Amino acid sequence: MGCIQNTIKIVFTGGGTAGHITPGVAVFEDLRKYALTIKGQAGTFTPEVVWICSRSNTEQMLLDTYGIPFKFIFTGKLRRYFSIKNFFDIFLVIIGFIQSLFILRNEKPAILFSKGGFVSLSPVLAARMLRIPIIIHESDYDPGLTTRITARFANKILIPFKESNIFYPESYKKKIMVTGNPMRSGILNGSKLRGLSYCGIKNNKKIIFIVGGSQGALQINKLLEKCVGELCEQFIVIHQTGGNWTFEFKHPNYRAYNYINAQYADIAAAADIVVSRAGAGAVWEFAVLGKPMILIPKGPDSSRGDQVRNAEFFEKKHAAIVLKGKKVNTENLINAILTILKNDDLRITLAKNAALLCDMNAKGKIIDVIIKQIGGSYDV
């Protein structure tokens, strides 16, 4: 008789933005390929994932795209500042906690894997009460508020950089591991030729890829609106605008797309420079691809914003040029672009330093931690 084939349930949670979903999806993509052998149990086990998310249509559509079953809960946003909404959101967190208890009791997972964001608070607390092992992965250089709260309950805390250790209490050090951030499987398979073909580019001008995330970035879009004509006189500009932006500028060297999905890796491969927000996932992917970056982080010019901290870390490592606060204007943007594209040594240095910060095998390390935590070993 052959080996008995069983399934082992793993519950993922996280959300609030796509940045908390996409890295988890990347882990799921590879995790489902493994056949696990569990210590003390006969046969092999196929990982089966269920995701606890918010009621956000964006999150649910993204999970549905990858065929990941999900259960939604009510969520309350955690704010560091006073707001009357905090009072009402406490009740939403309590409701979400009760919902999470029912979901976890029904699913009976071997482990809970949290990608952070305010959605994950209730499931982590429920998993702790039910004595379900918890792994938390934080993508940003410094931990968000939810991670700071839930880290005390985790069996393992996975962080992106060794320098991120400073944000955690000394008592947590034994359960912290530096894994890096997981990337989508297709991001390394981009083709410059396919990217050029898709965009209809037939000249040898250098290419600027401007992207503000899946929803676009109003601040970046307004900056570009004032200087895109000047940039297009010398370069090709490929612009992911987001679905809520209309800009009627026409130029042979300008390509605008509301949202880039299947062709994203190809366009990134073709780009000579990237202008981007400083979300952890986007910065990590561009760094691994060896792209010199100009980062315009979202949020106030303070150390409390996650994107600001991400950008400052890369700037300190001489791995990106950062524009923030009062420095965010068209003159500085143009100067930064020209400085990089007119200086081959600088372009190479920025790309090399960024690539050195980011491990392209992060996904494999995270999967290894998950499987070992449930007492398993595996074969592809």
Please report, for the chain, the start and end positions of each structural domain, with discontinuous segments joined by +.
5-183+361-379, 186-357
d(CA 22, CA 212): 16
Average pLDDT over residues 32-56: 84
d(CA 255, CA 266): 14
- pLDDT higher than threshold 60 for residue 82: no
Average pLDDT over residues 340-366: 94
For the domain covering 186-357, report its CATH number: 3.40.50.2000
Q: Which residue has the tokens 């999150």?
A: 59
pLDDT at 365: 95
Do the domains 186-357 and 5-183+361-379 match in fold? yes
> Nearest 10 degrees: CA dihedral of 219, 223, 229, 233?
-110
pLDDT at 283: 95
- pLDDT higher than threshold 90 for residue 142: yes
Q: For 87, how many CA atoms within 13 A lie in the half-sphere containing its CB?
A: 3
Per residue, the 3-state secondary structure of the chain, as one string, reads CCCCEEEEEEEEECCCCHHHHHHHHHHHHHHCCCEEEECCCCCEEEEEEEEEECCCHHHHHHHHHCCCCEEECCCCCCCCCCCHHHHHHHHHHHHHHHHHHHHHHHHCCCEEEECCCHHHHHHHHHHHHCCCCEEEECCCCCCCHHHHHHHHHCCEEEECCHHHHHHCCHHHHHHEEECCCCCCHHHHHCCHHHHHHHHCCCCCCCEEEEECCCCCCHHHHHHHHHHHHHHHCCCEEEEECCCCCCCCCCCCCEEEECCCCCCHHHHHHHCCEEEECCCHHHHHHHHHCCCCEEECCCCCCCCCCHHHHHHHHHHHCCCCEECCHHHCCHHHHHHHHHHHHCCHHHHHHHHHHHHHHCCCCHHHHHHHHHHHHCCEEEEC
Is the distance from CB of 8 to CB of 49 less than 8 angstroms?
no
Give the confidence band of 85 by pLDDT, cuts at 50, 70, 90. low
Higher pLDDT, 99 or 40: 99
Give the confidence band of 303 by pLDDT, cuts at 50, 70, 90. very low
Give the confidence band of 87 by pLDDT, cuts at 50, 70, 90. low
pLDDT at 1: 43
Instruction: Compute the mean pLDDT over every residue in the chain, rounded to the nearest whole number.
Output: 89
- pLDDT higher than threshold 70 for residue 81: no
CATH of 5-183+361-379, one of 3.40.640.10, 3.40.50.970, 3.40.50.2000, 3.40.50.920: 3.40.50.2000
d(CA 264, CA 272): 14
| CB-based contacts of 379, cutoff 8 Å, min separation 6 | 34, 35, 37
pLDDT at 217: 82
Ranges 46-50, 341-345, 376-380, most confident: 341-345
Residues 105-133: tens digit of each pLDDT: 999 999 999 998 889 999 999 999 999 99
Residues 264-300: tens digit of each pLDDT: 999 999 999 999 999 999 999 999 999 999 999 987 5
pLDDT at 61: 83
Give the confidence band of 302 by pLDDT, cuts at 50, 70, 90. very low
- pLDDT higher than threshold 60 for residue 363: yes
Q: Which residue has the tokens 């980062």?
A: 295
d(CA 47, CA 338): 49
Give the confidence band of 347 by pLDDT, cuts at 50, 70, 90. very high
- pLDDT higher than threshold 80 for residue 215: no
